Amino acid sequence: AWECTPGKEMAWNILSLFTTSGMLFLEVSLVAFLLQGNYASGLEALTRTFAVSGLIVGLDLLLKAIYLFGFGVPVFIDNIEHSHQVKWGLWVVHRLVLTAVYGFILFMYHSKWRERLPARPAFYKYVTIMFILNALALLACGLTGNGSNFGFWLYSVTTVCYHAFYLPLLYITFLADFFQEEDLNLENVYYSEMKDAGFFDADWE
């Protein structure tokens, strides 16, 4: 793999650090924005979302950078032959926090605080999928830290699935219906304009 090529470790670590931070920023921002519901205006919601997301992602990036460049822990270089307990312990904590957050949101859906959550079935489906994915990744990190080959394989699968399907998941869950509705409205507008211009008068003669 490219990340295992001698002399490429530093470039791979920097690229992975900012890539994972960007994905985490998107993930945290989405949850933070939707959890605000209708209690804030658009500008207030965006400002609060970016502030919360920036703080969380900044702390996460700082912690990983300290482990990566300060202690020399290969956070983003996966090698089953050399199991780093500190590295996998860090990933266990990372996945545990995400799993706990999504699990708490799912718990709220089945509690008396359900009205505080967005009344969107798509959001519930998204949270469910992310909870399952992070729970599997948490299990994989724990097993890999103990030297399990199956855990390493499962971790690789969850990582590939996350990076390959997260953005399509966002589109299908939150944007597909919106764009379909916009296209339908646009077609109705075009039809009305053509009808007013007399394009269909010949069909009635």
Q: Which pLDDT belongs to residue 192?
A: 61
| Alpha-carbon gap, residue 130 to 193, rounded angstroms | 44
Look at 36-50, 90-104, 165-179 and tell me which has the smallest mean pLDDT.
Answer: 36-50
Q: Which of 96, 78, 92 is nearest to 153 (CA)?
A: 78
Tokens matching residue 25: 């920023």
Q: Which of 172, 146, 143 is nearest to 158 (CA)?
A: 143
Give the HSE-up count for residue 161: Cα atoms under 13 Å, Cβ half-sphere: 13
More confident: 203 or 93: 93
Judge whether 137 and 95 are in contact, CB under 8 Å: yes
Q: Which pLDDT belongs to residue 84?
A: 79
Q: Left, alpha or beta for 117 (phi > 0: left; psi -120 to 50: alpha)?
A: beta
pLDDT of 122-137, one tens digit each? 888 999 999 999 999 9
| Alpha-carbon gap, residue 80 to 90, rounded angstroms | 16
Cα angle: 107, vertex 110, 115; to 5 degrees: 100
Q: Which of 122, 107, 115 is nearest to 169 (CA)?
A: 122
Residue type, 130: M
pLDDT at residue 27 is higher than 70: yes
Q: Which pLDDT belongs to residue 127?
A: 93
pLDDT at residue 79 is higher than 50: yes
Residue type, 29: S
DSSP state of 119: S
Q: Which pLDDT belongs to residue 6?
A: 58
Q: Which of 123, 133, 129 is nearest to 173 (CA)?
A: 123
What band does 139 get if pLDDT is binned at 50, 70 and 90?
very high
Q: Which pLDDT belongs to residue 203?
A: 46
Q: Which pLDDT belongs to residue 177?
A: 66
pTM flag (> 0.85): no
Q: Which pLDDT belongs to residue 12?
A: 84
Judge whether 46 and 30 are in contact, CB under 8 Å: no
Give the HSE-up count for residue 40: Cα atoms under 13 Å, Cβ half-sphere: 13
- Whole-number average pLDDT of the chain: 81
What band does 140 get if pLDDT is binned at 50, 70 and 90?
very high
